[in-house]
Structure formats: C-alpha cells, structure tokens
C-alpha cells in the first residue's frame, strides 16, 4: 500500500533503541527511513538533522529515524555522532513494510531488498503532511516544511 499526503500514519506508537516509547501523536513529527547506520549518506542525513534540531524543534517538530539495524547498532551510531534524537530499530520489518519503504533495489546488477530513503512529515494528529522521496542527505533540513 502506498501512503499519500492526508492519510493517517499506519503505526502510531514505536519504541526507540533505548526502549522509550515514541508517538506520532501530540507533536509534529519528522520520521525518516534510512538504509543503514554508519554509511556515508545515512551519516550525512543524520548529522544534518542533528545540527538543525534546534531549528526543527523551534518549528514544533520532533525527529526520529528508522532502519532495520539493531538497537545496539543504533546506540553506537547515536553515541558516535552525538545524535540528540531517537532511532527506532525495526528488525522485524513491521514498520518499514507498513510505510511501504521496504522495496526491491539493485546495485551492480544484483537485486536485493532494502529501505528506500524516505521522510514522512506528520501533523500533531499523525496525519501525513509531506512525503520526501528525493532526499538530499547533506541538506535534508531544508526540504522539511
């Protein structure tokens, strides 16, 4: 199922890598899906959001990232780059599949399943207000409205 602007989020409550509840209800939210911790593009994206977190917070946004990496991997990534927002480990693929970002990809002629880098922006009620599929990892904050 492809999600569209104006729809409700398919899953409303998550647990971050530290075991803390994270909800899409109550605050505007930037929920970004990324392929893998500690890779160049994913690091650039996380660092860009982290460097601009005060700006995003001033606009009323909370930020969280989602990948299929383990909570342990997320915790190392958070520590290494001093990220000030939570990362959600989706090892079961429940979230990435519900959001339609677990897709067939190809590299060097080989097909594999992976995350399509995508950012969903939600209002306070968990309604999608924007979907960013062409993510500029180094300037991602500028794409969020």
User: CA–CA separation, 74 vs 90, rounded Å?
Assistant: 11
Instruction: Quote helix, strand, coil % in the chain, to nearest 5.
Output: 30, 30, 40
pTM of the model: 0.94
Is residue 42 annotated as a catalytic residue, yes or no?
yes
Distances (CA, A) of 69 to 16, 43, 103, 135: 12, 14, 16, 20
At residue 11, the pLDDT reads 81
Q: Which bin fits 63, alpha (ψ -120 to 50), beta or left (φ > 0)?
A: beta
Helices (H), 63-138: 71-81, 94-98
All structural domains of the chain: 13-143 (3.40.30.10)
Grouped pLDDT means (10 residues each) for the chain, 145 residues: 89 88 94 96 97 97 97 97 97 94 91 95 96 96 94
At residue 10, the pLDDT reads 87
List 9, 24, 42, 144, catalytic entry: 42
């Amino acid at each position: 199922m492809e999600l569209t602007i104006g729809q409700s989020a398919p899953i409303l409550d998550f647990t971050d890598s530290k075991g803390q509840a994270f909800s899409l209800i109550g605050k505007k939210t930037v929920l970004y899906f990324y392929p893998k911790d500690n890779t160049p593009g994913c690091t650039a994206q996380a660092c860009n959001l982290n460097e601009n977190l005060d700006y995003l917070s001033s606009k009323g946004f909370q930020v969280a990232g989602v990948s299929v990496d383990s909570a342990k991997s997320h915790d190392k990534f958070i520590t290494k780059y001093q990220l000030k927002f939570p990362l959600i480990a989706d090892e079961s693929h429940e979230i990435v599949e519900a959001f339609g970002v677990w897709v067939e990809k190809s590299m060097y002629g080989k097909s594999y399943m992976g995350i399509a880098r995508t950012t969903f922006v939600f209002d306070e009620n968990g309604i999608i207000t924007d979907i960013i599929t062409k993510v500029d990892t180094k300037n991602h904050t500028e794409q969020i409205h």
